[in-house]
Amino acid sequence: MNKKNRVFIATSIDGFIADKNGEIDWLHTLPNPNNDDMGYMEFIRGCDAIVMGRTTFETVLSFNIPWPYQIPVFVLSRQLNNLPPNLTDKAHLVKGSLHDILKEIYQKGHNQLYIDGGRTIRSFLSEDLIDEITLTTIPILLGGGAPLFGDLPQELNFELLETRTYLNQVVQRHYQRRK
Ligand SMILES: NC(=O)c1ccc[n+]([C@@H]2O[C@H](COP(=O)([O-])OP(=O)(O)OC[C@H]3O[C@@H](n4cnc5c(N)ncnc54)[C@H](OP(=O)(O)O)[C@@H]3O)[C@@H](O)[C@H]2O)c1
């Protein structure tokens, strides 16, 4: 099957994915009476594993909710040497170059990957390893925080596949890498 690395992420108007305190509660301040998931379940149904940065992994753990993923999560970290034992079989620590990490994940039979976390996404983009980006823009200016995008060694062209609007407030653009 064709390998794909996809991003599905929400940003502020000024392009941040977490605020100055590292918080993401601003993602959920718009009235959403029917709990519209803005395409998340549809997106994740098309993925067979998640590659997640250590900061995002720790954010998920801090929610103190049952583990929310049904597919394996590969956590990128140079600092961590192990993950909580209750997540054996659910989350796996990976290290090394992205090339080696992807090789390891493909060998385990996963090839439709959800790439999550700011630094993680930037490192994939630096090596031109992202095929699709679904970018959901929340109407707030945070004025600082964790950025989604940064410097790249080269320009990357994308094609707009679709635009959706949710709650009359949120614009979601789905891009595909054009090579
Ligand atoms: N708005 C949204 O939709 C959304 C989505 C996801 C996350 N978030 C939030 O955004 C923030 C993301 O934080 P972040 O930008 O620091 O990103 P991150 O990608 O979640 O985590 C960065 C960490 O991942 C590890 N890492 C990344 N690339 C690596 C590589 N190539 N090799 C080895 N390790 C690598 C490093 O951990 P070590 O330091 O351990 O080496 C690095 O410090 C969090 O606050 C999160 O809650 C928001």
| Ligand 1 center to 97 CA (angstroms) | 15
- Chain segment 44-70, per-residue pLDDT in tens: 999 999 999 999 999 999 999 999 999
DSSP secondary structure letter of residue 154: S
List, as one string, the DSSP characters of 129-153.
---EEEEEEES---SSSEES----S
Residue 113 above 70 pLDDT? yes
Point out the ligand 1 atom lying closest to the alpha carbon of residue 23: 45
Spatial CB neighbours of 32, under 8 Å, sequence gap ≥ 6: 167
The domain segmentation of the chain, as residue ranges, is: 4-177
What average pLDDT does the structure give for the chain?
97
Query: Of all protein residues, whose CA lies closest to atom 36 belonging to ligand 1?
Result: 77
| Ligand 1 center to 18 CA (angstroms) | 11
The helix/strand/coil state of 28 is helix
Q: Determine if ligand 1 sits within 6 Å of the CB of residue 119.
A: yes
Is there a contact between 119 and 126 (Cβ–Cβ < 8 Å)?
A: no
Give buried/exposed letters for 24-44 (b at 16+ CB in 10 A, else e).
bebbeeeeeeeeeebbeeebb
Spatial CB neighbours of 35, under 8 Å, sequence gap ≥ 6: none
At residue 71 the predicted structure's pLDDT band, cuts being 50, 70 and 90, is very high
- Chain segment 12-38, per-residue pLDDT in tens: 999 999 999 999 999 999 999 999 999
Point out the ligand 1 atom lying closest to the alpha carbon of residue 95: 33
Q: Which CATH number fits domain 4-177: 3.40.430.10, 3.30.365.10, 3.40.50.720, 1.20.1370.20?
A: 3.40.430.10
Measured between alpha carbons, how far is 14 from 137 in angstroms, rounded to an integer?
9
| pTM summary value | 0.97
Residue 1 above 90 pLDDT? no
Distance from first CA to last CA of the chain, Å, rounded? 19
In the chain, the percentage of residues whose pLDDT exceeds 90 is: 99
At residue 168 the predicted structure's pLDDT band, cuts being 50, 70 and 90, is very high
What's the pLDDT at 40?
97
